[in-house]
Structure 1
Amino acid sequence: MNAERRTQAERSASTRGAVIRAARELFGQHGYGAVSTVAVAEAAGVSRGALYHQFSEKRELFEAVFEDLERSLVAVIGTAVAASDSGDPLADLIVGCLAWLQASTAPEVQRIALLDGPVVLGWHRWREIERQHTIGLLENALAGAIAAGRVRSQPVRPLALIIVGALDEASQYLAHTEDGSADAAAARSVIEQLISGLAVGPPLGQ
């Protein structure tokens, strides 16, 4: 019986994963309003009944897609910071923010996270999910930099939200610019200067 239950759980998880992957691709390409649950079920290779067994409505599916996207962004940022191996919390902040900026210029992220997210989920739920993932990651990094004496002591949440606002605006700017390479370099420089301006004292180890 336990083996049977595990098999059923695995099948359910597999169906759920397939639906989320298909919906993420479709929502990212066409937008929430232009995608039906029928189209998602067909793309996922499941019945509409199987889709609704996992998600009671399209909005619930979108929320799962948005959370999946947020986890992907956290992974991208984490990988970039780990690869830099700077040993300095402020340098890690810069690397993480630049990785976030780069990832956020992707059409999928623009559509799901920045355009449809606050409209479909409502601003409060949209922000709540971001705080559980990307914004939470930034808040932890800022708190660590403050504790290490690399950023002056100040309230973390408003600082994080102001930085996120800058990143969101920069990513939308880059997503619609006609001079990609030059504007990307300029935007990266601005973000780097913004974060560097929070510095207190020399880099750790110096």
Structure 2
Amino acid sequence: MSGEHTLKAVRGSFIDVTRTIDNPEEIASALRFIEDGLLLIKQGKVEWFGEWENGKHQIPDTIRVRDYRGKLIVPGFVDTHIHYPQSEMVGAYGEQLLEWLNKHTFPTERRYEDLEYAREMSAFFIKQLLRNGTTTALVFGTVHPQSVDALFEAASHINMRMIAGKVMMDRNAPDYLLDTAESSYHQSKETDRTLAQKWSSAICDYATLRPDLIS
């Protein structure tokens, strides 16, 4: 396949941030807006980005330009804290946090001991992220290692960047969701090995953890 066939050309209005921001007051000075811009993507990576007039000559005649003028194009969003097992219970009512956990969250998370169910919900979760412009996320699974396996499996099918891990809980939860420091360590180590360093441990709410599990 020639390089031309892997090239995508996108035209439209773009806005992004040109540097890492440590202070919200710096955001305005770091914003970049291009009213009529061009983005060239080759094999999933940015090949060129800038003003349309400066880059249009780089587009081969055989490439169709995706024209989104009149729309605003932004980089993918990054969600730094999200629980994918709670996808199906969004909006579930609870007067207090503990009531909500015991009535909705814990019973829902129990279902992720079933690998096929975890796979089904992982696919749904990732589709929802992408529908809303999120292309990278730091994701909590459940205490079940297979919940993480299913998530990475779904993400790998579309080459999506994902940071995730099994949740560790050894108190203040039903017995069917509790693990120990030792079991969490060994399960995390095994998942780390099988996923070839693509996995990262995730620790749940401190209310469900004893100090020895954190250490």
* Larger gyration radius, structure 1 or structure 2: 2
Structure showing greater relative contact order (alpha-carbon pairs closer than 8 Å, 6 or more residues apart): 1
Task: Normalising by structure 1, report the TM-score.
Answer: 0.23
Which structure is higher in helix share?
1
Which structure is higher in strand share?
2
Task: Normalising by structure 2, report the TM-score.
Answer: 0.22
